[in-house]
Amino acid sequence: MPDDNDKILTRTDYRRVIAWPERIVREAPFLEWATRDAPHRSLLDVGCGSGEHTRHFAEAGWTAVGVDVSDRMMEEAVSLSGPAESGGSARFELRDGRDARDLAEAPFGAALCLGNAFAFLETEDDVRSLLHGVADGLAPGAPFLMQMLNYERICSSGQRALPVNVRPLPEDEGDGEILFLRIMTPRPDGNVDFYPITLTLRPGEEPEVDVRSVKSFVHHGWRLPFLRNAYAEAGFDDLQAFGGMAETEFVEQESADLVILARRKG
């Protein structure tokens, strides 16, 4: 997970360029299915970003805790903290997921790490230490759901971009749209140079197109064979791989995402 604020979008743009209500509705059935057998309804959201998944679980009656190493994201996430009518609650803490067992709510009944956060782990040791840290913060039998892009498909196909996100400008910025572009250059080492770009589009105005932000960093494309071993070493079993946030088979050369569901041994 990134700890350099220059490597991420501003917290405001991150929330604006993702259609969060639609995304949560789309993913909710799979999230409910993946956590259906949790030993208890407390959840850790690792790399929680602006907090929408954490809040979703709070609204569903869970005691949900989101952690992230980005202070910019945490400033935005705390706006979603507090109790929910369902009896659940959400709170957020600036913390590395490796330290999950030190949270007051640990051991948790389930954990998430979504939004491609694993791609920011730079070394195999980073992956292993995060998995060990999450495992240490989970109750026996607790599910852990991770989602990242399928870099095997991206690199083998030479894919250069993800679909463009287009969202309306907020009212305080007037008429127009925000465009979110994600340009990629696959590298020989199996990683990907990643360029997230946000533009403001105001047809008929001057300028019609304006650059809001341009970033550049490396996505580390962890593959399933390594992850299987790393999960097992960290104390997880019953690993299942899916091709997206649904009960779809993971196909190495076809799936857009690599989604892993595993359980803490107990």
pLDDT digits (tens, 9 = 90+) for 154-198: 999 999 999 999 999 988 899 999 999 999 999 999 999 999 999
Examine the pLDDT at 231 and tell me if it is beyond 50.
yes
The C-alpha atoms of residue 166 and residue 238 are separated, in whole angstroms, by 38
The C-alpha atoms of residue 194 and residue 185 are separated, in whole angstroms, by 7
Specify the range with the lowest mean pLDDT, choosing from 78-87, 107-116, 162-171, 253-262: 162-171
pLDDT at 101: 98
Two tokens at 56? 């979703």
Model confidence band, residue 13 (pLDDT cutoffs 50, 70, 90): low
Of all residues in the chain, the percent with pLDDT exceeding 90 is 90
Model confidence band, residue 16 (pLDDT cutoffs 50, 70, 90): low
For residues 58, 264, 93 and 63, what is the CA-based torsion angle, rounded to 10 degrees?
Answer: 20
Over range 42-67, report the average pLDDT.
98
Q: What is the mean pLDDT of the chain?
A: 94
Model confidence band, residue 266 (pLDDT cutoffs 50, 70, 90): confident
pLDDT at 15: 64
Model confidence band, residue 7 (pLDDT cutoffs 50, 70, 90): very low
pLDDT at 18: 80
Examine the pLDDT at 98 and tell me if it is beyond 50.
yes
Model confidence band, residue 8 (pLDDT cutoffs 50, 70, 90): very low
* 3-class DSSP assignment, residue 108: strand
Query: Which residue(s) pair with 92 in the sheet?
Result: 66
Q: Which residues of 94-115 are buried (b: 16+ CB within 10 A; e: fewer)?
A: ebbbbebeebebbbbbbbbbbb
Higher pLDDT, 172 or 202: 202
Examine the pLDDT at 70 and tell me if it is beyond 50.
yes
Examine the pLDDT at 10 and tell me if it is beyond 70.
no
Model confidence band, residue 5 (pLDDT cutoffs 50, 70, 90): very low
pLDDT at 19: 83
